[in-house]
């Protein structure tokens, strides 16, 4: 039976594939260790004013650094990289992208998954790093129906508590009120299938939670491990591949608690560079897969080919 969702997903997939250049051979990057297969698929990209990140930073130092890094101070166009893990009968998404209601250049994750032969009803588990729109709003389709009908959902307890607190809508900064309203509406629709985790918990077999608070009050990174192989899904704990690496101590306008987020970044960078841990960043260049390198005065992101 062809449902309205399947019909729209198929038609939309053709349009988005041609519009974005996403083809089955280029829609994803793949990692594998043991019986775990990891694909990084595109949800498109965002277009943001530079001030969204750069406004709190020391402008006299920022401008020459951006020029050196080849980054415009006016416009940011970060990619959106969604991680898919398959192991046995498990089909796990880490975040779900932004869906149709957030940004005109994003919301194509279903087309990217379709290129791998993965349908929404195949997803068994969804693990959230945090509840910002570009990570959460893809829960619903164009008709406001839940997409991942067979999935169980998992989120950090502190993140859930923050967004579901009725006072958050009144207390969050004005520019993010829509974030809170949108998060509460969507999370309420899946609350019966939601489970919670805390720092250090094994979220799923081989998947450990790492508290990376600051970008949001309960932001979590997730580390997938098997044997001596591992990869850390960063979410937005490291939110871009330029200034966040070069000057992790600088406060960023994208973070809800900039001081905590900066402390998190510095600690995380040090650990990742020291251990040579492979990472997947939601907004890092290319397909988001790479390593953190220590430099003379900061860090750099080394993307995998």
Query: Can you give the pLDDT at residue 75?
Result: 97
Cα dist. 111→17, 20, 73 in Å?
7, 10, 31
Write the pLDDT tens digit of every residue in 81-134.
999 999 999 999 999 999 988 989 999 999 999 999 999 999 999 999 999 999
The pLDDT of residue 220 is 98
Residue 185 pLDDT > 70, yes or no?
A: yes
The pLDDT of 283-291, averaged and rounded, is: 94
Q: What is the pLDDT of residue 141?
A: 84
pLDDT band at 18 (very low <50, low <70, confident <90, very high): very low
Of 145 and 97, the one with more pLDDT = 97
Task: List the domains of the chain with CATH numbers.
Answer: 4-23+37-303 (3.60.15.10)
Mean pLDDT of the chain: 90
Q: Return the C-alpha torsion angle 136, 37, 209, 111, nearest 10.
A: 0
> pTM value?
0.90
Q: Which residues contact 248 (CB under 8 A, 6 or more apart)?
A: 238, 262, 265, 266, 269, 298, 299
- Alpha-carbon distance of 155 to 284, in angstroms, equals 22
């Amino acid at each position: 039976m062809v449902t309205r969702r399947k019909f729209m997903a198929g038609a939309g997939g053709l349009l988005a594939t041609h519009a974005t250049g996403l083809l089955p051979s280029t829609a994803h990057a793949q990692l594998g260790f043991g019986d775990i297969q990891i694909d990084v698929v595109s949800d498109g990209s965002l277009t943001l004013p530079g001030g969204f990140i750069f406004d709190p930073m020391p402008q006299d130092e920022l401008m020459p650094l951006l020029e050196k890094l080849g980054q415009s101070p006016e416009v940011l166009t970060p990619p959106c990289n969604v991680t898919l893990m398959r192991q046995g009968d498990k089909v796990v998404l880490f975040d779900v992208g932004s869906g149709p209601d957030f940004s005109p250049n994003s919301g194509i994750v279903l087309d990217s998954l379709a290129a791998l032969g993965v349908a929404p009803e195949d997803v068994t588990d969804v693990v959230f790093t945090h509840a910002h729109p570009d990570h959460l709003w893809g829960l619903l389709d164009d008709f406001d129906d839940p997409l991942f009908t067979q999935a169980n959902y998992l989120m950090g307890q502190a993140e859930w508590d923050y967004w579901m607190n009725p006072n958050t809508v009144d207390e969050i900064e004005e520019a993010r009120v829509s974030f809170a309203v949108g998060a509460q509406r969507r999370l309420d629709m899946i609350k019966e299938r939601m489970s919670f985790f805390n720092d250090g918990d094994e979220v799923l077999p081989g998947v450990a939670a790492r508290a990376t608070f600051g970008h949001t009050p309960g932001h979590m990174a997730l580390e997938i491990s098997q044997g001596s192989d591992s990869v850390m899904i960063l979410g937005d704990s490291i939110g871009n591949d330029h200034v966040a690496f070069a000057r992790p101590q600088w406060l960023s306008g994208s973070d809800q608690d900039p001081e905590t987020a900066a402390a998190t970044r510095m600690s995380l960078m040090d650990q990742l560079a020291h251990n040579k841990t492979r990472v997947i960043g939601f907004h890092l260049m290319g397909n988001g897969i790479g390593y953190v390198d220590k430099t003379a005065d900061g860090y750099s992101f080394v993307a995998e080919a």
